[in-house]
Amino acid sequence: MHDRELKSESDEDSKKSAETPINEELYFRRVSALEMGGKEAVERQHSNGRLTVRERFKELTDSESFREVGTLGGSGEYDENNKLVKVTPAPYVAGMARINGRTVAIGGEDFTVRGGTTFGAARRKGGQGGFIEDLAHYYKIPLVNLIDGAGGTVTSAKRRGYVAFPGVHGFERSVQLLGEVPVVSAVLGTAAGGPAGRAILSHFSVMVRGTSQIFAAGPPVVKRSLGRDIDKEELGGAATAVDKAGTIHNAADTEEEALDQIRRFLSYMPQNVWELPPVIPCDDPVDRCETALRDIVPEKRTQPYSMHDLIELVVDKDSSFEIQPTNGKSVITTLARLDGRVVGIVANNPKFYSGAMDASSAHKQIRFMELCDTFHIPLVFLVDVPGFMVGLKAEQEATLREGMRAVYVAGQLTVPTLTLVIRKCYGMAGMATCNKNDIDLKLSWPSGEWGSLPVEGGVAAAFRRDIANSDDPKAREKELEAELRAYASPFRTAEAFAVEEIIDPSETRPILCEYIALAESRLRANLGPKRKAGVSP
Amino acid sequence: MTITNVTSEVIGSVWKVEMNVGDAVKAGDTIMILESMKMEIPVEAPVDGKLAEFMVQPEDSIDEDQVLCTIES
């Protein structure tokens, strides 16, 4: 808008208004707002490899769509005659704008003004409990947070005369929004305190490798509390916050890419939970049968294959967007489209822990299932899971508890779920790939195999005495395995209608497209916020 | 010259080593195969270069993030 404002004021028609503005004070105040923290501060922001908040808005939103609210917020300085001398703009810029033609509420700290630290009247503009969150809430539009600030400072106490109790201007609205409208955050600087909290209270968050960090507390606090020296990149850069911890969903190499990821994420989302996600025209043929899918699973059961390739062969061309690609890697969570309709894909990754569910992949799957359930996005499970991850480390990380939480959340889903077994589907981790409380529709490829636990290992435990008493224990174990494996044929389960259909892998796309189209009436009948469930394990 | 550590993403054991010290590798080449969760997990070279040193041999138990070998480039 600023460009447009300045442009429109320098247009032929209104050329004079730039020189002799209709209201000199309004013009002066607007210009002050656009100057942010001043030339030097803007240059410093650029030399740190970062855009200014206004440049970010321009990059992210549809051309000329930004309508600012609170342009004049800030602190004025007046001379002895009460004449305005200078205005320092509030370090938070906000308003509404369009992204891919759809309206969003958008706000972000202006780091060039006091490092983005807001207080007093400016504090009412943005941040948790601020105007911009109210705008998203009352108008039921997505909220975009461009985060570049470290929240409160101890100097506030001096200014105020007392210390505020935590929760004044708290996260109530941020929490409420998570059940109402899509909330997305980009961490574009060093985030701690309230801004960091808001980044987490988002459906999707992204940060930039190298130029952004996020933590509960930064290096000076770590030094004071623990006596350890650590630099902010190691403490809260993307390698820690995204890859290792999963604190933030995705990483980007540049700010532009981070903003691009926000646009991409929002393209799958409805405006709010009372609407369905947008369906777009699809030029990828629905009846595209991929014979390559017939050979994608190696004959040798111990060999992995690329589940990522498999997903790409099935979904609409160029429609996939992976959430958390570098954390909890034994499961893949991807937003995609089938015949233009949005689906959430949960696929086990045989290249990592054989696809076994560990604590971090359980967290990731739970968050993704809850996201899809909240925004009425049907789920497709592409299953190749041997069970929960085993071993001391896995037990120390509470894999069993986290994995059962995934089973619990899957069992509470209200969106249609479709389970397609690619290879293994074993044990309780297998239960987290379907919704037994629902119609529980399960398809399988002929390579599918399932059970309480895989035959190998299971035989050694169940027939311990039989094997030990044999003349040739090794041979006896093999013999028992072969005997049980005969029952493991997926066709026997299909005979018993305990798996609803076995399909030719090449037919996967047309069949999935049909089931997802089928889901529409059901999704429409269940719009609105989700009921809160009981105590998750 | 830079030395790149090739680490294991998973816990498991070394099943077989497919290359030798001094061999030229291209990013994506399989250097060794691990066994983890009853699955053969290939370890791929992260960069182009020459295999400088092996820290493990077949049947060794390995932990997540353990350095398996180094590449000189």
Residue A4 predicted with pLDDT over 60? no
Q: In whole angstroms, what is the distance from residue A32 CA to residue A76 CA?
A: 10
Class of domain A291-451+489-523: alpha beta
Contact call for B11 and A391, based on CB within 8 A? yes
| B64: nearest CA partner in chain A | A393
Taking the domains of chain B in order of start, what are their residue ranges?
Answer: 3-72
Sort out which chain B residues have CB atoms less than 8 A from A307's CB and list them: none
Residue A10 predicted with pLDDT over 70? no
CA distance A456 to chain B (A): 9
Predicted pLDDT of residue A301: 84
Residue A1 predicted with pLDDT over 50? no
**Cβ contact A125:A119 at 8 Å:** no
Contact call for B38 and A302, based on CB within 8 A? yes
Contact call for A456 and B38, based on CB within 8 A? yes
Residues of chain B with pLDDT under 50: none
| A302: nearest CA partner in chain B | B39
Q: Which of B36, B40, B42 sits opposite A353 (nearest CB)?
A: B36
pLDDT tens-digit profile of A489-528? 899 999 989 899 999 999 999 999 999 999 999 999 999 9
Residue A258 predicted with pLDDT over 60? yes
B41 closest CA partner among A297, A384, A354, A391: A354
Q: Which residue has the tokens 């195969």?
A: B33
Residues 310-329 of A with CB under 8 A from B: 329
Residue A228 predicted with pLDDT over 50? yes
Contact call for A386 and B38, based on CB within 8 A? yes
pLDDT exceeding 70 applies to what percent of chain A? 93
Residues 453-492 of A with CB under 8 A from B: 454, 456-457
Q: Do the first three CATH levels of A38-267 and A291-451+489-523 match, i.e. the same topology? A: yes
pLDDT tens-digit profile of A92-107? 999 999 999 999 999 9
Taking the domains of chain A in order of start, what are their residue ranges?
Answer: 38-267, 291-451+489-523
Q: Which two tokens stand for residue A105?
A: 């509420």
Protein fold of A38-267:
2-enoyl-CoA Hydratase; Chain A, domain 1 (3.90.226)
Q: Determine contact: A427 vs chain B, CB below 8 A.
A: no
A288 closest CA partner among A260, A319, A259, A266: A319
Look up residue A163 and give its DSSP letter. P
Q: Determine contact: A386 vs chain B, CB below 8 A.
A: yes
Best mutation site among A306, A331, A353 for testing chain B: the one with the most B CBs within 10 Å?
A353
Non-local (6+) Cβ contacts of A302 within 8 A are B38, B39, B40
Q: In whole angstroms, what is the distance from residue A424 CA to residue A445 CA?
A: 10
Contact call for A354 and B39, based on CB within 8 A? yes
User: Count of A–B CB contacts within 8 Å?
Assistant: 32
CA distance B9 to chain A (A): 8
Non-local (6+) Cβ contacts of A88 within 8 A are A32, A37, A74, A75, A77, A113
pLDDT (mean) for A283-301: 94
Sort out which chain A residues have CB atoms less than 8 A from B41's CB and list them: 304, 351
Residue A170 predicted with pLDDT over 90? no
Q: Which of A304, A386, A389 sits opposite B41 (nearest CB)?
A: A304
Contact call for A303 and B40, based on CB within 8 A? yes
Sort out which chain A residues have CB atoms less than 8 A from B42's CB and list them: 304
Residue A323 predicted with pLDDT over 60? yes
Contact call for B9 and A390, based on CB within 8 A? no
Contact call for B39 and A454, based on CB within 8 A? no
Residue A15 or residue A108, greater confidence: A108
Q: Sorting pLDDT into bands at 50, 70 and 90, what band is A434?
A: confident
- The Cα diameter of chain B in Å comes to 37
Q: Determine contact: B10 vs chain A, CB below 8 A.
A: yes
Give the start-end residues of each E strand in A357-507.
Answer: 379-385, 417-426, 441-444, 449-451, 501-502
CATH of domain B3-72: 2.40.50.100
Q: Which of B10, B40, B42 sits opposite A353 (nearest CB)?
A: B10
Contact call for A456 and B9, based on CB within 8 A? no
